[in-house]
Structure 1
Amino acid sequence: MSRIGYKEVVLPEGVEVKRDGNTVTVKGQKGELTREFSDQISMEVEGKTVKFDRPADDNKTKALHGTTRALFHNMVVGVTEGFKKELELQGVGYRAQMKGNKLVLNVGYSHPVEFIPEDGLKIEAPSATSIIVSGISKEEVGDFAARIRLTRAPEPYKGKGIRYVGEFVRRKEGKTGK
């Protein structure tokens, strides 16, 4: 059984937490994040530590307890350090490049695929076969990186496609003749 909800979140130097009912705003040197949490979980800010507590021990409340603490911790890490996802392109002729603030992908379609970053996200293409998505919201960074990956997900026969750095793609054997 996980007890992650009972772990205290220690606020680093320069991080401010404001509460307005169930809405919590975390402000740091990289930016500001706001999220609305469930009213079933109580939150106590004591100096530089934040504690979460649950009123009951039913399964839904237990799950919500750990989730609330993890989401808040991700907000704190986001406004202090930020998050990033790295993607790599594998395939002959597959390439990524930046045109202004747009990411342009050539991944085997008859047309280039363009991505415009949302507010708070930053996209880089340090080389023709690598992409870096960074920002302060873990949820938005992961979602945007997943959408880029879905443009051409890695296929199991030749391994071509867009994958996360370090992702293992299980290869399959092709058909054999008689």
Structure 2
Amino acid sequence: MSRVAKAPVAIPSGVEVDLRGNAIEVKGPQGRMAWECHRLVEPHEEEGQLRFEPRQQSRRAVALTGTARSVVSNMVTGVSEGFERRLELRGVGYRAQVQGDTLQLTLGFSHPVHYKIPEGVKIEVPTQTEVVVRGPDKQQVGEVAAQIRGYRPPEPYKGKGVRYSGERVVLKEAKKK
């Protein structure tokens, strides 16, 4: 069996897990999330932990068991602590600000970029050149951060653009005559 699937998912205090067949619902201080587990995977709760077993010993069932365990673990972490992605804006005049449910970005284009903040995600701008994306759903937080980065990814000559915090951009040498 998958080594990932063998590890149980610990349920911290303040988090409730509701199992109905293959439907899993997790509630916590950061919100609630629901997910439908694949029919080849059998989830069960015992002693404050969630365990996942394959219903048959096929290669696909074992792989899906590890995936299910990982997804539910991220759900439990999301509703208890939440996830965050930090972005940095590098470039002269590059800045961000939140106005209502819209993130307004000035990224060197002839016009400002308006990004509508989706439901379930919070975006904060501690400084003009820093954007923090927070939420309980790891996939959604990563997707929003990638969409914002996609407006102006870091370019390889001067390093200008939107980058993840801590991302290293290898700069190329300029063309010589």
Match of 1:122 in 2: 122
Matched length: 177
C-alpha contact 2:97 2:104 (8 A) present in aligned 1: yes
Structure 1: runs of 5 or more not aligned: none
Equivalent AA in structure 2 for residue 129 of structure 1: T
Runs of 4+ with deviation above 4 angstroms: none
* Cα drift, residue 2 of structure 1: 5.4
Cα distance, 1:58 vs. partner?
3.5
Equivalent in the alignment of 1:86: 86
Deviation at 1:55, TM superposition (A): 3.3
- Partner residue, 1:17: 17
Give 1:106's aligned residue.
106
1:113-170 CA-to-partner distances (Å, cap 9, x unmatched) read 1112111110001111000000111111111011000010111111111000001112
Aligned position for 1:134: 134
* Residues 156 and 58 of structure 1, relative CA distance in 2, 3 Å threshold: farther
State the shift of 1:89 in Å: 0.4
Report the 3-state secondary structure (helix = DSSP H, G, I; strand = E; otherwise coil) of the residue aligned with 2:125: strand
1:121 alignment partner AA:
V
Sequence identity (%): 46
Which residue identity is paired with 2:111? H
Quote the offset at 1:67 in angstroms: 0.9
- Where does 1:42-53 land on structure 2 (aligned, <5 Å)? 42-53=42-53
Q: Give the root-mean-square deviation of aligned CA atoms.
A: 1.4
Q: TM-score, normalised by structure 1?
A: 0.94
Partner-residue secondary structure (3-state), 2:89 = strand
How far 1:22 moved relative to its partner?
Answer: 2.1
Quote the residue 1:28 is aligned against: 28
Q: Match for residue 173 of structure 2?
A: 173
Task: List gaps (5 residues or longer) in structure 2.
Answer: none
1:8 aligns with 2:21: no
Q: Distance in 1 between matches of 2:2 and 2:166?
A: 27
SS at match of 2:126: strand
Q: Does 1:149 align with 2:149?
A: yes
